């Protein structure tokens, strides 16, 4: 992946949610590719999934001289407290910390509001006080809701159908407010179904792989025709890295996807081929809050960020499976 990046100047970057899937992959790339960059990782090891997995995500760079970890819950930490904890200059913030998951958000919408909106408010107030110029926000393709104007362009009408999606749309608009009032450059990246090494255990590719290997039935909601634009983690990291350097405007919303959609049944078949074992499928009704299809138009990302997804689903699944086998003993416990 080294050849995909243009080096950026020495910076101090804060990555919230840095012990999670996307955050840890971003931090690893930043530290490996640019030894003069300093990274402060903020995470609270939210119990949505095991803290052991998150500890494993960051173990390789916990002793790196340019890495610092802060155990903080952004929803309960004020901007003043953040300033007390981080006294040095901050050049950029990549805000990934959030409560994730469409279905759990329906069961507990207030928790998502607290972390995803109030938590972002605290981080933006911190950015204002520290005069941080660059703010990259992880949004989601879920903000589009049910929309058959494929592929989705950023200017589409947005009709979220889950509390999680609503909080991500709220985050984009909160960023616009702070960009307008305080001159913070706010780049919202709408991620489309990210997968790869360190993927969360609740997400389909990870969950299906583990279940197939155990010889248990996987749950397929609906008839298998729902589809997603699966995007490999290295391509997402490439997009985030480019967004850290973007300086042509002070507010942008940009899709980061793979520009093609794969049905759930096609995904299951691809995982079967990757692991060399057939799946046992238990078909269940479609779930409330799930959209039938996601499909990103990435022309804006190509134009503004020189974004070029390079990883096919087949290659990405092989890389994920290699990581899974390397950590199988731990992962099978959860």
Domain-embedded: residue 319: no
pLDDT at 6: 64
Residue 216 DSSP symbol? P
pTM of the predicted protein model: 0.95
Determine the Cα–Cα distance for residues 75 and 270; give it in Å rounded to an integer. 39
11-66 pLDDT, tens digit each: 999 999 999 999 999 999 999 988 889 999 999 999 999 999 999 999 999 889 99
Q: Which residues of the chain have pLDDT under 50?
A: 1-3
Query: What percent of the chain has pLDDT above 70?
Result: 97
DSSP letters for 130-166: HT--EEEEEEEGGGGBS--SSSBPTTS--B--SHHHH
Domain that holds residue 250: 10-195+231-257+295-309
For the domain that residue 44 is a member of, what is the CATH number?
Answer: 3.40.50.720
Domain-embedded: residue 164: yes
238-277 pLDDT, tens digit each: 999 999 999 999 999 999 999 999 999 999 999 999 999 9
Give the other-Cβ count within 10 Å of 297's Cβ.
Answer: 19
Total number of domains constituting the chain: 1
Determine the Cα–Cα distance for residues 205 and 69; give it in Å rounded to an integer. 29
The arrangement of strands across the sheet holding 185-191 comes to 67-71, 38-43, 12-16, 92-95, 134-140, 185-191, 251-256
Radius of gyration of the chain (CA): 19
Domain-embedded: residue 4: no
pLDDT at 9: 66
Cite the active site residues: 164
pLDDT at 286: 87
Q: Over the chain, what is the mean pLDDT?
A: 95
Domain-embedded: residue 158: yes
Determine the Cα–Cα distance for residues 17 and 123; give it in Å rounded to an integer. 12
Domain-embedded: residue 57: yes
251-269 burial: b if 16+ Cβ within 10 Å, else e: bbbbbbbbbebbebbebbe
Sequence-separated (6 or more) residues with CB below 8 Å from residue 167: 98, 99, 105, 112, 113, 116, 117
Domain-embedded: residue 221: no
Domain-embedded: residue 211: no
Domain-embedded: residue 282: no
């Amino acid at each position: 992946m080294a050849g995909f990046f243009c080096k950026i100047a020495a910076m101090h970057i804060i990555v919230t949610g840095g012990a999670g899937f996307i955050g840890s992959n971003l931090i690893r790339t930043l530290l490996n590719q640019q030894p003069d960059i300093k990274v402060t990782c903020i995470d609270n090891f939210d119990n949505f999934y095991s803290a052991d997995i998150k500890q494993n995500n960051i173990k390789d760079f916990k002793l790196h001289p340019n890495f610092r970890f802060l155990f903080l819950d952004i929803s309960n930490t004020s901007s003043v407290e953040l300033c007390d904890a981080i006294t040095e200059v901050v050049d950029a913030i990549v805000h990934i910390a959030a409560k994730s998951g469409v279905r759990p958000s329906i069961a507990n919408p207030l928790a998502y509001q607290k972390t995803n909106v109030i938590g972002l408010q605290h981080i933006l107030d911190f950015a204002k006080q520290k005069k941080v110029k660059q703010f990259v926000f992880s949004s989601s393709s879920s903000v589009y809701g049910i929309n058959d104007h494929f592929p989705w362009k950023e200017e589409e009408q947005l009709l979220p159908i889950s509390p999680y999606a609503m909080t991500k749309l709220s985050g984009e608009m909160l960023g616009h407010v702070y960009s307008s009032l305080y001159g913070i450059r706010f780049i919202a990246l709408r991620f489309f179904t990210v997968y790869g090494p360190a993927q969360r255990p609740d997400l389909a590719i990870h969950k299906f792989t583990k279940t197939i290997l155990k010889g248990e039935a996987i749950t397929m909601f609906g008839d298998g025709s729902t589809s997603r634009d699966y995007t490999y983690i290295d391509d997402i990291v490439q997009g985030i890295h480019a967004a850290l350097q973007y300086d042509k405007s002070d507010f942008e919303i940009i899709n980061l996807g793979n520009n093609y959609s794969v049905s759930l049944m096609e995904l299951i078949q691809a995982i079967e081929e990757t692991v060399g074992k057939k799946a046992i499928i238990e078909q269940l009704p479609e779930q409330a809050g799930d959209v039938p299809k996601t499909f990103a138009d990435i022309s804006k990302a190509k134009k503004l960020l020189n974004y070029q997804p390079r990883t096919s689903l087949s290659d990405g699944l092989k890389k994920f499976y290699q990581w899974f086998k390397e950590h199988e003993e731990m992962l099978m416990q959860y």
